[in-house]
Structures are given as structure tokens and as C-alpha cells.
Amino acid sequence: MINIGEWLYGLFGSGGGPALVLCIFLIFLLDAVFFPTLPEFFYVSAFFYDPSLSFGLFLLAAAIAAETFGLVLLYLIVGKLRVPKRISTVVNKYIGFLVLGDERLLLLNRIAPMIPFSGAVVRIVGWDIKKSVFYVFLGCILKYGTILLMSNFFHSYYSSGDAQTFTLIFIIAVIVISFTLSVIVKKKKGIGQKS
């Protein structure tokens, strides 16, 4: 099996761990601000480079910082723009259909992604930015902390190749479960169905 950690390390030259932490920050920032990047795969791939808990904590800090910064950045950008009333109406209607209608939805969004461009949504629907940052922060700790702990567990009890395989299977399961929950919630609320 290809050592994904070494492959990712090869992309970032001889920067080693610090370059990988920066890479994770940028990937999570792209995911928070522009488009989905499946950051879980990159997160675990970077962890394969150095499967120690201390390096994993640096990766976790980078993920949290990027998600939080991305949320606040979009929030500020949208605050400077004049959002068309039609977009505002659609966003508010969409949020109204979801399970929760306040900042707690950002915590649920870590498990069942339903809100793209969350910083923009926070501004448009008028949620409290401090509460929003708190829920994003808490969600990152819970989701990526769990991924980190499971990755560390696999590396502690299995050979390097098996640990990578089990970790990737775990990540794929997390993504599939997240996607499935998102679809179920949207179907129950009738989002995306033609009337």
C-alpha cells in the first residue's frame, strides 16, 4: 500500500511536519470558505507522516484554526456585501426547514453536513457570531479529535500498513455516515424535493 503520509510529505518538500500542518490549515480553510475538499482524508494522510499524538494535536489545532478563521472570514466578507433579498429569503427558508434553526446547527453540521459556506449563512440569518464560533470549535474538537484518537489507536495496535488501512476505512465510514445522515434529514424536511 502507498504510504499516503510520505506522498503528502513529498508534495510539500522538505518542510516536514510544519509544512504538513500548514497544508492541513490551507485545506480546511479552502473547505470552509470555497468548496468541499474532503479534509478528513488529508487530515489522516498528514497524520500518517508522524502518527504521534503530539503531532496529531498540531494537526487538530490547524483544523480548528482554519475552520474558525474560514467561518469568521466569510461572515465578515458577507457583512461588507449587499446580499440580494432573494438569496437571503432562500437561505432563511432553507435553514427553517432543518432540524435546528439556530447556531447549534453548526455543531450538527460536523456530523451531517447541510450548510455550505457556513460563515455566509451565519451572517445572512443573523446568528450570533460568538456562539457560531463556539459551535464550530466544539464540533471540530469532537469530530477531528475522534478521528485523531482512532488513528492513534490503530497505529498503536496494528502494523503501519494495517493501521493506515483501518484508518482509511474509518474515515470512509465517517464520510458515508455523514452523507447518509444529511440526505435523511433533508428528505424528512422535504428539502430538495420537487413540489
What pLDDT, on a 0 to 100 scale, did the predictor assign at position 188? Answer: 65
pLDDT of residue 174: 75
Q: What is the pTM of this model?
A: 0.78
pLDDT in tens, 18-30: 888 888 898 888 8
Tens-digit pLDDT profile for residues 101-123? 789 889 888 877 778 889 999 99
- The answer to whether position 193 is within a domain reads no
The reported pLDDT for the residue numbered 7 is 58
pLDDT in tens, 43-101: 888 887 888 888 999 999 999 999 999 999 999 999 999 889 999 999 988 887 776 77
Q: Is residue 194 part of a domain?
A: no
Helix 16-33 × helix 53-80 angle, to 10° = 30
Query: Is residue 170 in a domain?
Result: yes
Write down the pLDDT at residue 12: 62
Query: Which three cell numbers, joined as nine digits, stand for 61?
Result: 489545532
Decide if 195 is inside a domain: no
Q: Which domain holds residue 181?
A: 4-188
Residues in the chain: 195
Q: What is the dihedral of CA 21, 22, 25, 28, to 10 degrees?
A: -90
In the chain, how many domains are there? Answer: 1
Domain presence at residue 96: yes
- 33 inside domain: yes
What backbone torsions phi and psi does residue 147 show, to the nearest 5 degrees?
-60, -40
Q: What is the mean pLDDT of the chain?
A: 82
- % residues pLDDT > 70 (the chain): 85
